[in-house]
Amino acid sequence: MSYFPEVQDPVPCEGPDSRNPLAFKYYNASQLVAGKSMADHLRFAVAYWHTFKGPGTDIFGSATFERPWNTGATPLEIAEKTLDAAFEFVHKLGLQYYCFHDRDIAPEGETFAESCDNLDHIIALAAEKQAATGIKLLWGTANLFSNPRYAHGAATSPDAHVFAYAAGQVQHAIAATHRLGGENYVFWGGREGYETLLNTDLKAEQDHLARFLHLAVDYAKSIGFTGQFLIEPKPCEPMKHQYDSDAAACLNFLRSYDLMDQFKLNIECNHATLAGHTFQHDLSVASAAGRLGSVDANRGDMLLGWDTDQFPTDIYDAVYAMLVILRQGGLGSGGLNFDAKPRRGSFDTVDLFHAHIGAMDTFAHGLLIAQALIDERPLDDEIDERYSSWNDELGQSILAGNESFDSLEAWIREHGEATPRSGRQELLENIVNTYIR
In whole angstroms, how close is the CB of 337 to a copy of itself at the nearest point?
A: 17
Geometric angle at alpha carbon 175, from 122 and 77, rounded to 5°: 10
For 99-154, where are the alpha helices, taking DSSP H only?
102-105, 112-133
Binding pattern to a copy of itself, positions 35-64, x when CB under 8 A? ---------------------x-xxxxxxx
Q: Give dist(CA 360, CA 394) in Å, integer.
A: 47
Residues sharing a CB contact under 8 Å with residue 388, sequence separation 6 or more, in sequence order: none
Measured in degrees and rounded to the nearest 5, phi and psi for residue 68 equal -60, -30
Site for a copy of itself in 280-319 (CB under 8 A): 280-281, 284-285, 288-289, 301-307, 311, 313-316
Strands (E), 111-261: 136-141, 184-187, 193-194, 228-231, 241-242
Q: Is 329 exposed, middle or buried (0-12, 13-18, 19+ CB in 10 A)?
A: exposed
Least Cα distance to 119 among 91, 143, 146, 148 occurs for 143
Asked if 219 is part of the footprint of a copy of itself (rule: CB under 8 A), the reply reads yes
Asked if 197 is part of the footprint of a copy of itself (rule: CB under 8 A), the reply reads yes
Binding pattern to a copy of itself, positions 85-114, x when CB under 8 A? --------------------------xxx-
Q: Which residue number, 129 or 280, has a Cβ lying nearer to a copy of itself?
A: 280
Q: Is 365 considered catalytic here?
A: no
Q: Is 296 considered catalytic here?
A: no
Asked if 201 is part of the footprint of a copy of itself (rule: CB under 8 A), the reply reads yes
Measured in degrees and rounded to the nearest 5, phi and psi for residue 215 equal -60, -40
Q: Which residue number, 73 or 417, has a Cβ lying nearer to a copy of itself?
A: 417
Size of the site for a copy of itself (CB under 8 A): 158
Q: Which of these segments, 2-10, 77-85, 90-98, 156-164, binds a copy of itself (CB under 8 A)?
A: 156-164
Q: Which of these segments, 89-97, 123-131, 165-173, 331-339, binds a copy of itself (CB under 8 A)?
A: 165-173
Catalytic site residue from 41, 50, 102, 104: 104
Q: Give dist(CA 146, CA 160) in Å, integer.
A: 18
Site for a copy of itself in 354-413 (CB under 8 A): 354-355, 357-358, 361-362, 365, 378-379, 382-383, 386-387, 389-390, 392, 394-395, 398-399, 401, 403-406, 408-409, 411-413
Length of the chain: 437
**Residue 407 corresponds to which amino acid?**
S
In whole angstroms, how close is the CB of 165 to a copy of itself at the nearest point?
A: 5
In whole angstroms, how close is the CB of 431 to a copy of itself at the nearest point?
A: 8
Helix (H) or strand (E) holding 100, with range, is strand 97-101
Site for a copy of itself in 257-276 (CB under 8 A): 273-276
Query: What is the 8-class DSSP label of residue 195?
Result: S
Catalytic site residue from 41, 50, 101, 277: 101
292 DSSP β-pair partners: 265
- Of 30, 124, 240, 375, the one binding a copy of itself by CB under 8 A: 240
In whole angstroms, how close is the CB of 173 to a copy of itself at the nearest point?
A: 10
Residues sharing a CB contact under 8 Å with residue 229, sequence separation 6 or more, in sequence order: 184, 185, 187, 213, 216, 217, 220, 262, 263, 264
Asked if 78 is part of the footprint of a copy of itself (rule: CB under 8 A), the reply reads no
- Of 32, 34, 124, 202, the one binding a copy of itself by CB under 8 A: 202
Q: Which of these segments, 3-11, 32-40, 70-78, 339-347, binds a copy of itself (CB under 8 A)?
A: 339-347
Residues sharing a CB contact under 8 Å with residue 59, sequence separation 6 or more, in sequence order: none
Asked if 252 is part of the footprint of a copy of itself (rule: CB under 8 A), the reply reads yes
Q: Which of these segments, 33-41, 68-76, 82-90, 161-169, binds a copy of itself (CB under 8 A)?
A: 161-169
Q: Which residue number, 136 or 190, has a Cβ lying nearer to a copy of itself?
A: 190
The angle that helices 75-93 and 112-133 make with each other, rounded to 10 degrees, is 30
Looking at the annotation, which residues are catalytic? Answer: 101, 104
